[in-house]
Amino acid sequence: MKVIWNKCDICGVCASVCPVDAVTISEHKVEINNMKCIDCNKCLIVCPAMAIVRGFENNSPKEDETTIDLTLLPNIEKEYDVIVVGAGPGGSVTARFSAENNLSTLILERDREAGIPVRCAEGISGGGLDAFINIDERFISSRIRKARLYTPDGNHLDMRSKVEGYVLERRVFDSALCDIACQKGAEMLTKADVTGIKKTSDGKMKVFFTYKGLQRYVTCKIVIGADGVESRVGRWAGIDTTLKLNDISSSTQYRINNIQLDSEMISFYFGNKIAPGGYVWVFHKSSNSANVGIGITGNFAQNKPAQDYLDEFIKIHFPEASISYTVYSGVPIANTLDKIVADNVMLVGDAARQVNPVTGGGIKQAMVAGKIAGEVAAEAILKNDYSTKILKKYSQEWERVLGSKHRFMYKIKEKVLNAPDERLNKISNICKGLPAEDISLTYLFKAVVKGDPKLVAEMATAFVLSKISI
């Protein structure tokens, strides 16, 4: 396999499905080590940018390719209690609660700043956000009060939420979360591309990274991988983060302009001809622009790429729109990993597969997980024990707060995203005539699983136990 550089968007989907860790990702490029590659074709199938093709190119790393520089960088210490890899919402919140608990904390981010590139539809429910940040108008593109769900036959259902949601300016929002972490005492180094971790003889971890063309390392007691869907930190720690094709959403999103939409409404389109194994979303961004994107599961992407479906959708629904940018991404729509901790290591957010498998939303889930991870890290440091035995408290708390709900939502995903068009159309007819405020996702899910009493019972339990809205 080889990568066509001028097509690649460095979204990380290829690494998330590679079963042999043959894909290397940096800020500037993706490489495939053909000495490791087993030609399973999964990376080729799910790549939303169609940037991977068959062919041989020996990209195996050379031992002497990079010089290790042990010189200390300005404002960077030799050793930290915690190093967080990745400055997305999960990583920043983890660093914040780590620093709040008096742990020396360093964030290593491979991009030039937090919040870029934006690989997200940017929608989020407002409920529970105040536990992490005070909402500032700078973060908000639009306020969401209604949702419209289009069924394959062209009919639609309107829903009105009791909790206001937002379409965010992710770049501003993520930067603000990162600023809070740094205000609490965390330090941060950008354009620092983590390349490996290694346990030391005294039970700590060396974290290797490249910075300004040189390979460097910093020592810490605990590494927290908030490094996204590709999560190489997890693999380096011996955690299997490989996703099955039906558990990864291959996605393409456009910012389209010259359109007129209801500024308070977000829309979703379902159907096997529109988005098999997924859906199309339309999220209002300004008076005449929107994020319009599609996600389809990897097992469908092998027949036709997501972008082709999206182009067809735009041509039909927004023929006069202009496109100002395109972004590719991959979203894990899987169960949370069975193992999200190892000795000296915890995984947070997309890296741990802590994403709602039905909606693909993961911002708030990552922040919830980050808070737990930061607090558990503080407890481990206090006990001077960084083993799995101590860190598994993070897994247990995640399971209590959201894990059981995520497993249930995964079952719903298998029902909803693979439902035949006839079932989805029938649901629309069942709900026809109901007021928008009476239609909820809970109601719709019950309609989807009607005839499956066991799943209905599990649904009721999951929503009672949940402390966060979907």
Q: Tell me, what's the pLDDT at 468?
A: 39
CB 223 within 8 A of CB 207: yes
User: Phi-psi bin for 239: left (phi > 0), alpha (psi -120 to 50), beta?
Assistant: beta
Class of domain 145-157+245-332: alpha beta
| Backbone torsion region of residue 109, taken as left when φ is above 0, otherwise alpha when ψ lies between -120 and 50, otherwise beta | beta
Whole-number Å distance between alpha carbons of 414 and 251:
18
If you classify domain 79-116+171-242+335-401 with CATH, what class do you get?
A: alpha beta
Was domain 2-53 assigned CATH 3.30.70.20? yes
Residue 469 pLDDT class (50, 70, 90 cuts)? very low
pLDDT in tens, 279-292: 999 999 988 999 99
Tell me: pLDDT of 467 over 70.
no
pLDDT value, residue 459: 47
Contacts of 60 (CB under 8 A, 6+ apart): 33, 34, 35, 36
**pLDDT at residue 63 in the model:** 39
Provide CATH 3.30.70.20 ranges for the chain: 2-53
| CA end-to-end distance (rounded Å), the chain | 38
- Tell me the pLDDT tens digit for each residue of 194-209: 999 999 999 999 999 9
Q: What angle do CA 127, 120, 20 make, to 5 degrees?
A: 115
CATH 3.30.9.10 domain position(s) in the chain? 145-157+245-332
In this predicted structure, the answer to whether residue 111 has a pLDDT above a threshold of 60 is: yes
The position carrying tokens 């790549």 is 47
Q: What are the pLDDT digits (tens) for 21-49?
A: 999 887 678 999 999 999 999 999 999 99
pLDDT per residue as tens digits for the range 127-182:
788 889 988 899 899 998 888 889 999 888 888 877 788 999 999 999 999 999 99
CATH 3.50.50.60 intervals, the chain? 79-116+171-242+335-401
**Tens digit of each residue's pLDDT (9 = 90 or more) over 49-98:** 999 998 765 444 443 444 555 555 667 788 999 999 999 999 999 999 99
**Residue at 61: amino acid letter:** P
pTM, to two decimals: 0.86
List C-alpha distances in Å: 56 to 32, 35, 63: 9, 10, 21
* C-alpha dihedral (253, 257, 260, 264), degrees to nearest 10: 50
Secondary structure letter of residue 165 according to DSSP:
E
